[in-house]
Amino acid sequence: MLDPSLLRSRLAETAARLAETRGYTLDIVAVEALENSRKQLAMETQELQNLRNTRSKAIGQAKAKGEDVAPLMAEVAGIGDKLKANEQALAEVQAKLADIALGIPNIPHESVPIGKDEHGNVETSRWGTPRTFDFAVKDHVELGETHGWLDGDAGAKLSGARFTVLRGQLAHLHRALGQFMLDLHTGEHGYLECNVPVIVNADTMQGTGQLPKFEEDLFATEVGETRRYLIPTAEVSLTNLVRDTIQDADALPLRMTAHTLCFRAEAGSYGRDTRGMIRQHQFEKVEMVHVARAEQSYAQLEEMVGHAETVLQKLGLPYRKMLLCTGDMGFGATKTYDLEVWLPSQQTYREISSCSNCEDFQARRLQARVRNAETGKPELVHTLNGSGLAIGRTLIAVMENNQNADGSITVPEVLRPYMGGLDRIA
């Protein structure tokens, strides 16, 4: 969430910035009214506490003198009742302010272009040249179904729409991609590999911003009175590992990675994206998370993007890097780069990785801090997250970009050790 001071001392300025960058309307009147009530109740509560303390001391003094303390005790009881009512009212006002704050998106970094949607995104670079085919290109569904490797009907029978079964060599190639990505990030990029829960509690989801705003996009489970959520990305579990902690300054930046199942219950239809594996309710991803000091975070963002790019380059997949505009960024991000891989069947680039700096937006919810080496005082960390990469979409790109006229698929050289030396699947 945003720094509360922005809603107290810079409310109009903050509201204007949110409207300009996010198209978000902050109810200034409601916030001001609640803030005024908070200040008044806080002042009255403090005065009542002081008065009760003073009267309590007077009771002790009166008792020592043998005086009648009944009137004073009755007064203290009355003060206590009013204090309890004030504290309850203050808690209610603070809860309303917190609810508003939890629904406010992060403020974009000044380097982010202003825009309403994806049309305002800015391409910053490209890598690789899309292949020219001398035969009719097939999409990943046609390539997969030919051999029974990819079975959407079986997925639908087991679970419903947007679930897929992989078999045989395609399932092996999918597994190889995940292993390759993990080995690359841990072996060359300095990440700590983690194995984390994919079912988490509400506090964990709130810590990274999925709750309360995006509850309808989440899968949830209920056992008895306990409600838990299936993670939409390992960012949730990994980032929450530093919740309620104070890190040593020398320990940062901390880099963590995990290969997990991910679950998204996004509503609505996305046309061609519902075909095959592009937009699934269940998918796998290798996630990257950085925890950094404030002065490190933007350099860390560039490094993280570079790590995702390295995966694509080693696989030989053409891609472009996009700087997202203010209207296309995620709720908690201050700056985001998307990597979009070339898909021959669609003759366009499609998102395969999104890397974001959230600054202290998540850390404030998480109370994730670092001890300032100079002052000794704790300060909020900055958190970053990125896909390194989405395995299903990477599989799609490998299949389509490496397909042959006979329907076989050439295995990228870096994956062959993970495929028992196979140079193609057919």
Q: Which of 302, 289, 330 is nearest to 106 (CA)?
A: 330
Residue 352 annotated in ligand binding: yes
Residue 351 annotated in ligand binding: yes
- Catalytic position from the list 22, 162, 264, 365: 264
Active site residue 264: yes
Q: What long-range pairs does 225-228 form, CB within 8 A, spacing at least 24? A: 227/201, 227/202, 228/199, 228/200, 228/201, 228/202
Residue 272 annotated in ligand binding: no
- First-to-last C-alpha distance (Å) of the chain: 50
The whole-angstrom distance between residue 329's C-alpha and the CA centroid of its chain comes to 11
Residue 385 annotated in ligand binding: yes
Task: List the alpha helices (DSSP H) in 188-274.
Answer: 202-207, 235-240
Residue 348 annotated in ligand binding: no
Residue 265 annotated in ligand binding: yes
- Catalytic position from the list 237, 297, 345, 354: 354
Residue 266 annotated in ligand binding: yes
Residue 287 annotated in ligand binding: yes
Question: Positive or negative, the Cα torsion across 201, 206, 210, 214?
Answer: positive
Active site residue 345: no
Task: Judge residue 331's burial from the number of C-beta atoms within 10 Å of its C-beta, 0-12 exposed, 13-18 middle, 19 or more buried.
Answer: middle
- Catalytic position from the list 52, 255, 279, 293: 279
Contact 130, 342 (CB under 8 A): yes
Residue 354 annotated in ligand binding: yes
What is the distance between the alpha carbons of residues 323 and 114, in angstroms, rounded to a whole number? 11
- Catalytic position from the list 126, 351, 371, 408: 351
Active site residue 193: no
Strands 348-357, 335-343: pairing kind: antiparallel
Which residues contribute to the annotated binding site for L-serine?
Answer: 233-235, 264, 287, 385, 387
Which residues contribute to the annotated binding site for ATP?
Answer: 264-266, 351-354
Active site residues: 264, 279, 351, 354, 393
Which residues contribute to the annotated binding site?
Answer: 233-235, 264-266, 287, 351-354, 385, 387
